Amino acid sequence: MSETLTDRVKQVLEDSGLTQRALATEIGLDPDKLSKAIAGKRKFTSLELALIAQTGGRSVQWLITGEAERHWRVAARTLTVDQARADRAGEASIADVAERFDALEKLGYAPPVPARPRHQGSGYVKQGTALAASALELLGEPIGGRDTASLIALVEDRLGINVVVGPLPDGLDGLSFQDDDFRIIVLAQTPNFARQRFTLGHEIGHVLWGDADEQVLAETMYARVPDDDHQEGRANAFSPHFLAPKVEVEERLGGRKVIDAFGDLCWHFRLSPRAMSWQLLNLRLIDAEDQEFFGRMSGRDVAAEMGLGADYLRRSEMAENERRPMRLVSAFVDAYSAGETTLRPIASLLGRSLTETAAYFGDDEFEYSPGRA
């Protein structure tokens, strides 16, 4: 006989060590209602299922259907870290956010996800360039001068990609994953703001093309890419054309010679001299000799020459800040305001205590008790 939803709720009870009454208190439900639902005399609400799944550390999908939860498979291509460590980083960084997304879907509050651009071009370089142009059309506004925090917010809003900045193993710059309508990028906290920004562009390219469908892509930027790795080549072509598109580069140049404007270009587009020089070569604004010359510079060199040492440090500090998936946080706030969920998932996504979260959202009357949130 196949398992039913109530069988799986009982399994959550057994695995958690909670009594029915304790579980009811934990999720803020009258114990008698929970008892009736387990006995099949009333239906569980979507909120109750989401909270039971959360309490049991399981997915809503598993609770309802019994189907296996997501199994993260990390694609090891440019990794310089141990594969097992990359697997663990993928799970730790993505699983919790994915579970929250599933709960939002069940509550009917999952943010809409736009369709990905259609594939164009016959070679991976042309594909990456065309994909960048399509992505910029979806964003609908210039992005070169935006700081990375506001660019991430725009990417979440217009491309439907959840972006997290958090700790990753040394040597791992980013992760990306897509499963149905759930899209996520995880960026490493690092003082190298230019590398972090290039990684963001690179991972967006993977997600929009579909490379990250049902597998976690773990990335180490600037590692040597085999000539036949078209996924990496396409993402590497996408990133500079997305972050520093031709029309914005030419507008920023404003008729100046590249040698006079190079530092300003790096600073404005927040790219390393290496990445910026390659993009200028791609745009045929410099030759290979110039690219080699500019590419030997460092970001610190550029900042020092422009008298922007303090600003360089501020950008580095910002890149080390943790960032939570605010698009999902906003959706949960809407659900909370409508009485469809508690503060618990918001606190979890923000990495805050329930009391801190209540204060953050101005709930002055909040007093934590297991039955409220």
75: confidence class by pLDDT, cuts 50, 70, 90: low
Strand partners, 166: 188
Range with the poorest average pLDDT among 24-28, 236-240, 294-298, 310-314: 24-28
**Contact of 201 with 238, CB cutoff 8 Å:** yes
Count the helices and strands in the chain (H runs, E runs): 19, 5
Distance, first Cα to last Cα, the chain: 36
Burial class, 113, CB count within 10 angstroms (exposed 0-12 / middle 13-18 / buried 19+): middle
Residue 371 reports pLDDT greater than 50: no
**Contact of 175 with 168, CB cutoff 8 Å:** yes
User: What is the domain partition of the chain in residue ranges?
Assistant: 1-69, 74-243, 246-306
3-state helix, strand, coil split of the chain in percent (to 5) is: 55, 5, 35
Range with the poorest average pLDDT among 48-52, 75-79, 146-150, 354-358: 75-79
CATH of domain 74-243: 1.10.10.2910
| Chain centroid to CA 97 | 9
**Contact of 149 with 319, CB cutoff 8 Å:** no
pLDDT tens-place string over residues 309-324: 999 999 999 999 999 9
DSSP state string for 43-64: PPPHHHHHHHHHHTT--HHHHH
CATH class of 1-69: mainly alpha
Q: What CA–CA distance (Å, rounded) separates 73 from 262?
A: 41
pLDDT tens-place string over residues 195-225: 999 999 999 999 999 998 878 888 888 777 6
Q: What CA–CA distance (Å, rounded) separates 75 from 80?
A: 12
pLDDT at 81: 61
Helices within 72-177 (DSSP H only): 83-107, 124-139, 148-159
Phi-psi region at 136: left, alpha or beta (left = phi > 0; alpha = psi -120 to 50): alpha
- Which one, of 203, 201, 277, lies nearest residue 239 by Cα? 201
pLDDT tens-place string over residues 93-145: 788 788 888 888 888 899 989 999 988 888 999 999 999 999 999 999 999 99
Pairing verdict, β 74-76 and 216-219: parallel
**Contact of 150 with 270, CB cutoff 8 Å:** no
pLDDT at 227: 67
